[in-house]
Amino acid sequence: MNPTNPDRLHATDPWQQANEARLIRNARRWAETSETTLFTEKWQGYYVAVTREGQRLVLWMLDAETANTDWIQSAMDLRRPLRLQSSYTQAMILSLLWLPSPRSIFLSGLGGGCLATTLHHHLTHARLTCVEIAAPVVTAATRFFGFQPDDRLSLSIADVRAFLQQDTGAYDLMLLDVFCDHGVSPEHATEAAFLALCRKRIPPHGLLAMNLGNNDPAFDSVAGALRALFATVYTCRGRGSTTVFFATDLPPRTPEQLLEETQVLTHRHDFLFSLSSWTSRLQQLHPDPVAPGAGSSQPSQRDPPCPTPP
C-alpha cells in the first residue's frame, strides 16, 4: 500500500480486495489507539506481549528470566499491513522461485501470522496449514495482527514434531520458523530426525524453507542434515541475525535463471518490497558427504554476531 494513501487497494480480485480492506481496518484500529502495551500473557517460561511502537505492532516472546531482548517474533506496519517487515519473512518468499504455484503449504511457528496472511492473500488457490505451540501467540495473531483462519487457512495449537508424527499429509512447501527468545530454536526442532520427518512430507517437486538463528548451536548440524536429505540446498542470509535455508530435490538454478524467475514473480505478485535484493543473497551449498550432525567441510554460512533483531 502506498504510505501516502494507505487506504488505496492494490488487489483486483474481489476476495483479495475484501481481505486487504479488512486488514487495513484492523491496522487502523491499533494505529489510532493511545495504548502502547496492548497484550501480555504468560506461557510456560515466557511472556507473550504485543506493543505498539509508532506505526507498527510488535509481537514479543520474552524469556521470563531475562529483563531485555533484541529478538522479536513479528512486526506489522500499521500503514501497510501486507508488507512483510521481518528480514527472514521477506527472504522466505523466495521459496516461490522454485514453486510459484504451491497447492499445499505448511507453516510452523506462527508469530503474528504475517507470513501466513501474506501467502494466503497472494496464493488464492493454495491451502495453508499452520501449527503453533503457544496459545497466547495465536491469541495475539488473531486479535491484533489480522490473522484469520478460513476454509483455505487452518490452524492447530500443537508441537510441530508431534503434529507431523500424527499427520499423513503431503505439502508442496514447508516453512519452518520455530524459535523463542534469543534466536535459539527448540532442540527437537533442529535434530536430523525431525528434518527427516519433514522430508517425508514433501513430494519430489516440493521445497523446505527453514529460518535459523546464526548463533544457534545447531546451525552447522542443520546445514549438514539438509545437504544429506535434499539434492539442492541454498542459503539466504538476512539483514539481521538469521539465515533462511531452502532445500529441495529440484535442480539448482543459475544466477540468470533465478533473476529471470524473480522478475516473473514480481510481475505476478506485488509483495511491496524488492525480491531481487534477496535473490542476490542466495548461495548454493553443495551436497555434504559427511553424515548429518558430524560437521561439514563447507564454509560456514553464518553472519558475524549481530545484535540487530531479524
254-310 confidence digits (pLDDT tens) = 999 999 999 999 999 999 999 999 999 999 997 655 444 333 334 344 433 333 333
- Cell triple for 2: 502506498
Give me the pLDDT at residue 180, please.
64
Environment class of 182 (CB within 10 Å of its CB; exposed 0-12, middle 13-18, buried 19+) = middle
Question: Judging by DSSP bridges, how do beta strands 207-213 and 173-176 pair with one another?
Answer: parallel
Instruction: Check whether 226 has a pLDDT greater than 80.
Output: yes
Instruction: Check whether 96 has a pLDDT greater than 60.
Output: yes
Q: What are the domain boundaries of the chain? A: 14-77, 87-285
> For every residue of 196-251, which 3-state class applies, written as one string?
HHHHHCCCCCCEEEEEEECCCCCHHHHHHHHHHHCCEEEEEECCCCEEEEEEECCC
> For every residue of the chain, which 3-state class applies, written as one string?
CCCCCCCCCCCCCHHHHHHHHHHHHHHHHHHCCCCCEEEEEEECCEEEEEEEECCEEEEEEEECCCCCCCCCCEEEECCCCCCECCHHHHHHCCHHHHCCCCCEEEEECCCCCHHHHHHHHHCCCCEEEEEECCHHHHHHHHHHCCCCCECCEEEEECCHHHHHHHCCCCCCEEEECCCCHHHCCCHHHCCHHHHHHHHHCCCCCCEEEEEEECCCCCHHHHHHHHHHHCCEEEEEECCCCEEEEEEECCCCCCHHHHHHHHHHHHHHCCCCCCCHHHHCCEEEECCCCCCCCCCCCCCCCCCCCCCCCC
Across the range 85-110, mean pLDDT stands at 96
Give the right CATH number for 87-285 from 3.30.830.10, 3.40.50.150, 3.40.50.300, 1.20.120.80: 3.40.50.150
**Average model confidence (pLDDT) across the chain:** 88
> Residue 1 — pLDDT band, cuts 50, 70, 90?
very low
Do 75 and 86 form a contact (C-beta atoms < 8 A)? yes
What gap in Å lies between CA 199 and CA 54, rounded to an integer? 41
Partners of residue 58 on adjacent β-strands: 51, 75
What gap in Å lies between CA 161 and CA 1, rounded to an integer? 37
> Residue 10 — pLDDT band, cuts 50, 70, 90?
low
Q: Which of 62-76, 81-95, 274-288 has the lowest mean pLDDT?
A: 62-76
- Cell triple for 187: 532442540
Q: Which of 4-13, 191-200, 261-270 has the lowest mean pLDDT?
A: 4-13
Across the range 227-238, mean pLDDT stands at 96
Environment class of 242 (CB within 10 Å of its CB; exposed 0-12, middle 13-18, buried 19+) = buried
Buried residues in 257-286 as b, exposed as e (16+ CB within 10 A): ebeebbeebeeebebbeebeebbebbeebe
What gap in Å lies between CA 24 and CA 9, rounded to an integer? 9
> Residue 68 — pLDDT band, cuts 50, 70, 90?
low
Give me the pLDDT at residue 183, please.
61
Residue 308 φ/ψ, nearest 5 degrees: -70, 135
Indicate the length of the chain as a whole number. 310
